[in-house]
Amino acid sequence: MSGTLSFDDLKSRVEEGMIDTVIACLVDMQGRLMGKRLVAQFFVDSGWEETHCCNYLLATDLEMATPDGYASTSWESGYGDYVMKPDLDTIRLAPWQEGCALVLCDVLDHHTYEEVPFSPRAMLKAQIARLEEKGFSPVTATELEFFLFQGTHDEINANGFRDLKPISNYNEDYHIFQTSKEEYVMRPVRNTLLAMGIPVEGSKGEAEAGQAEVNIRYADAMSTADHHTLAKHAIKEIAHQHGAAATFLPKWHKDRVGSASHIHQSLWQDGKNAFYDADREIGKSELMDHYIAGLMKYAADYTYFVAPYVNSYKRFAKGTFAPTQVVWSVDNRTAAYRLCGAGSKSIRIEVRTPGADMNPYLAQAAIMAAGLKGIEEKLELGAPFKGDAYADDTKQHIPRTLRDAREALVASDMLRDAFGDEVMAHYARAAEVEIEEFDRVVTDWEIARGFERA
């Protein structure tokens, strides 16, 4: 697409004076872009080979604090460097910034030049490689749901995050008139993403006031994660430039629905969808049975990677289109796993547990590990659930808190086999840090509830 650039394209544009800045960035544990702005001429002369960053960037919390307890980095070890190795296949324009291009970097150990195993891109690469060893290529797509608010993030922060005002007044799901009011943000979003080479299909209103969704065309799993991450960052910057704020917080208000990021996935082999079998009921192959059964058996194990914060679990509520029960269904939005495209070559499974706060590299890697385990174990898939999954409490419930999800993560032999001890210890500590931070906070709810009455 026009927004993607070869290295030679970049050189030409720098020489012509069209590009003067290259943003070189890695993806951190939270799925954010971290890095530096390089003078474009420096990048094409030598910076394209490598640049460097502090190794704390893969061991921070949401507030960029440096909690202890990580084996990889600490005050004792002096916080050394990582190598940021630009992936030249990811060079693209950053059209919301004048004269700017962007490149994603892999994260390498400063001494061995091996990829850091707990870096998000490395984790996804490893699971893709495991599938490719068996002859499969994962094809995926993610949905980006988010809320738009009046005022920039800075203005909202200055007001203490109180009296938040969504950009629209009522449920705008598929509502053309209501979403027309926010086109001053969403039109630049769509056009900018296309100009970056991200294959956006469209945008729509979602099921709440001020809630939007952007849909991006399916791709190989790594490209999907790259597209998702770049789109999320661009949406925030574009909204800010137009005096608004975009949030991917899963649940901003107890009485409003949350924001999800459903992941659609299938496995392809020899250029065909291996989840499709025209001779079986609803066109679902035996391989797909095993894969979905793996997703369900190990649902609790990988929940942390699709719901990584305390707030993530507030989204799993009845009647909100967010799942609560570990069941699969055919085109049923109350289930955690929804089979789409039944009877067609586009048959796929939609995993509905991830929230808008998920890191798409980590979420996809963990889900693929579970699906692959289902294939290896040849797990049988039961009949699809029918009806209202919210009303059936007999099924396995999605972990209800981050603490529950962390316990399942730590106990998971499946993920330990897939990721290794170093990666598991790293993310178990990340979950623990989030819990520790929340446990020490006194909330407005506690004060209002007990200030007088306790």
Query: In this structure, are residues 309 and 357 in contact, taking their beta carbons and an 8 Å threshold?
Result: yes
pLDDT for residue 51:
94
pLDDT per position as a tens digit, 374-420? 999 999 999 999 988 888 776 789 999 999 999 999 999 999 999 99
Q: What percent of the chain has pLDDT over 90?
A: 80
pLDDT at position 266 over 60: yes
pLDDT per position as a tens digit, 127-169? 999 999 999 999 999 999 999 999 999 999 999 898 899 988 8
Residues 6+ apart with CB under 8 A from 119: 26, 27, 58, 106, 107
pLDDT at position 27 over 80: yes
The strand pair at 137-150 and 263-269 is best described as antiparallel
Mean pLDDT over 338-349 rounds to: 94
Please report which helix (H) or strand (E) contains residue 39, including its range. strand 33-39
DSSP 370-390: HHHHHHHTT----PPP-S-GG
Which CATH homologous superfamily contains domain 127-445?
Glutamine synthetase/guanido kinase, catalytic domain (3.30.590.10)
Where does CATH 3.10.20.70 sit in the chain?
Answer: 7-116
Query: In this structure, are residues 39 and 17 in contact, taking their beta carbons and an 8 Å threshold?
Result: no
Where does CATH 3.30.590.10 sit in the chain?
Answer: 127-445
Using pLDDT thresholds of 50, 70 and 90, give the confidence band for residue 178.
confident
Mean pLDDT over 240-248 rounds to: 95
Using pLDDT thresholds of 50, 70 and 90, give the confidence band for residue 186.
very high
Considering only the top CATH level, what class is 7-116?
A: alpha beta
pLDDT for residue 75:
78
Using pLDDT thresholds of 50, 70 and 90, give the confidence band for residue 1.
very low
d(C-alpha 126, C-alpha 365), whole Å: 8
Nearest to 352 by CA among 406, 306, 399, 298: 306
Mean pLDDT over 435-453 rounds to: 92
pLDDT per position as a tens digit, 47-101? 999 999 988 999 999 988 888 888 888 777 777 899 999 999 999 999 999 999 9
d(C-alpha 101, C-alpha 10), whole Å: 8
β-sheet bridge partners, residue 53: 82
Query: In this structure, are residues 412 and 418 in contact, taking their beta carbons and an 8 Å threshold?
Result: no
Give the C-alpha distances (Å, rounded to integers) separating 158 from 154, 155, 252, 288, 427.
Answer: 6, 5, 17, 50, 32
Higher pLDDT, 2 or 260: 260
